[in-house]
Structure formats: C-alpha cells, structure tokens
C-alpha cells in the first residue's frame, strides 16, 4: 500500500453507529484511513445523514431500481471503484454481497457481527444468544464471503452476560465493544498487518513488519 491514507467505502442499512465510531476514530487521528463514500440500501438510513454531516459522499442505492441481484451489486461495485476505495466495510449492512463486489475487492470486504461466530449467526445474534442463555457472547470482525456471517475471522472479543443483564443492557455492552474493536481492526488493515493464508486470517505481529500482499 502506498503512503496515502487507506480509503474505505462503508455499506450500511440503518442508524450507522459503527460508521460513527469509524468516523470519530478517523477524525481523532487514531487511524491511518479515511471514509470516502457511504452507501445504504435504505433511503432513510440515518447513517447517510451522519456521512453528509462529515462531508462524505453518501448515496442510497435502491435495490428495486435494478432488475437483478447482479445488477444491483454491479452498481455498488462501480460506486466503490469510482471513489477509489481500497477496503469495503460493512457496518450494519443487512444484505448479502454478491461476487461482483467480493471479486473486485478480494480479501478486502469486512463485516462485524454481534456474537462469537460461528455461534449465533444471522440478523438477531444478540437476542439469540441472550434467549439461549449463554454466559458469554461477544463480537466478531471477519472477512465477508458469499454466505451470511461467514469468512475468515480476524478478531473476536468476549462479552460476559451477567445474571441481571437485560437484552437492552447486553446490547449496550455489545455495541461498546463493536465501536472500539472495528476501528482497531481497520487500523491493522491500514498498517498492512492482516494476512489471509489458506483461507484463514491472521494479524501480523509488529516484529514481522507489514505485509506486502494485498
């Protein structure tokens, strides 16, 4: 990677709290990366307003405007390429990405999930873990592929479920971890310290130096 800041395209579906955490980390100079475009699959996603307030190009990509899933994903890909994104960051994006995007950004599409994958995949990971009665759940950051909540895991952090936790208090604890761990992983990418080997991701220790593979 050259010495310019890593350029990120962020995909969202809703409020964009993880997007805000990423923007805050970037504005504070804690990350050698910048968000260059935000795309949403819902017209009223509040994350679009967050992006616009930060002076970042933001757009709703209407799935119904495209006849096929492939055409929709091609539109996403073209917008990401138009803004010269190096990395695609799914931040509460509640759709499956097609090969059109994945192939354009090999091993450079990230997702965050509010559970310790492979446990409790799907859109209700927090509630599913809570209702199952687990004592430990957590957050996973992984590389995305053609399956929901699948792909090489980069980082995980456990969250204890206390006896007096409610679904609301557990959500708050999960989100607190999400908002910290996602910017940390993005910084690792910016430093060239995430490698994918034999279908698994690993973080390169500082002693080894940055990876030249992208």
Question: What are 72-94's pLDDT values in tens digits?
Answer: 999 999 999 999 999 999 999 99
- With cut-offs at 50, 70 and 90, classify the pLDDT of residue 4: confident
Q: Any idea what the Cα angle at residue 208 is, between residues 190 and 186, rounded to 5°?
A: 20
The verdict on residue 214 lying in a domain is no
The verdict on residue 204 lying in a domain is no
CATH code for the domain of 177: 3.40.50.170
DSSP character for 65? G
User: What tokens appear for 190 in the block?
Assistant: 């910016």
pLDDT, residue 125, reads 96
The verdict on residue 69 lying in a domain is yes
| CA gap 25, 179 in Å, rounded | 10
Number of domains in the chain: 1
The verdict on residue 199 lying in a domain is no
Mean per-residue pLDDT for 157-161?
98
Q: Which of 42, 83, 113, 175 is catalytic?
A: 113
213 pLDDT higher than 50 = no
Mean per-residue pLDDT for 187-197?
93
214 pLDDT higher than 60 = no
The verdict on residue 198 lying in a domain is no
Mean per-residue pLDDT for 180-193?
94
**Mean pLDDT, the chain, integer:** 93
Enclosing domain of residue 42: 6-193
Whether the predicted model's global pTM rises above the 0.75 cut: yes
The verdict on residue 206 lying in a domain is no
Give the lowest-confidence range in 160-164, 194-198, 204-208: 204-208
pLDDT, residue 211, reads 53
The verdict on residue 210 lying in a domain is no
Is the bond preceding residue 118 a cis peptide, omega within 30 degrees? yes
Name the strand (E) or helix (H) holding 18. Answer: helix 17-27
Catalytic: 175? no
- With cut-offs at 50, 70 and 90, classify the pLDDT of residue 2: very low
204 pLDDT higher than 70 = yes
């Amino acid at each position: 990677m050259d010495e310019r800041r890593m350029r990120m395209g962020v995909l969202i579906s809703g409020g964009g709290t993880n997007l805000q955490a990423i923007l805050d980390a970037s504005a504070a100079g804690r990350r050698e990366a910048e968000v260059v475009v935000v795309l949403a699959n819902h017209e009223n996603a509040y994350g679009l307003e967050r992006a616009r307030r930060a002076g970042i190009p933001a757009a709703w990509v209407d799935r119904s405007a495209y006849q096929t899933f492939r055409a929709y994903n091609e539109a996403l890909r073209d917008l990401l390429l138009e803004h010269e994104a190096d990395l695609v960051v799914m931040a509460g994006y509640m759709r499956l990405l097609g090969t059109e995007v994945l192939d354009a950004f090999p091993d450079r599409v990230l997702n965050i999930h509010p559970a310790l994958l492979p446990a409790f995949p799907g859109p209700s990971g927090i509630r599913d873990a809570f209702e199952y009665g687990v004592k430990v759940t957590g957050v996973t950051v992984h590389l995305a592929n053609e399956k929901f909540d699948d792909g090489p895991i980069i980082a995980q952090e456990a969250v204890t479920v206390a006896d007096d936790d409610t679904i609301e208090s557990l959500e708050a604890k999960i989100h607190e971890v999400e908002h910290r761990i996602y910017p940390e992983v993005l910084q690792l990418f910016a430093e060239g310290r995430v490698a994918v080997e034999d279908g698994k991701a690993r973080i390169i220790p500082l002693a080894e130096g940055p990876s030249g593979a992208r």
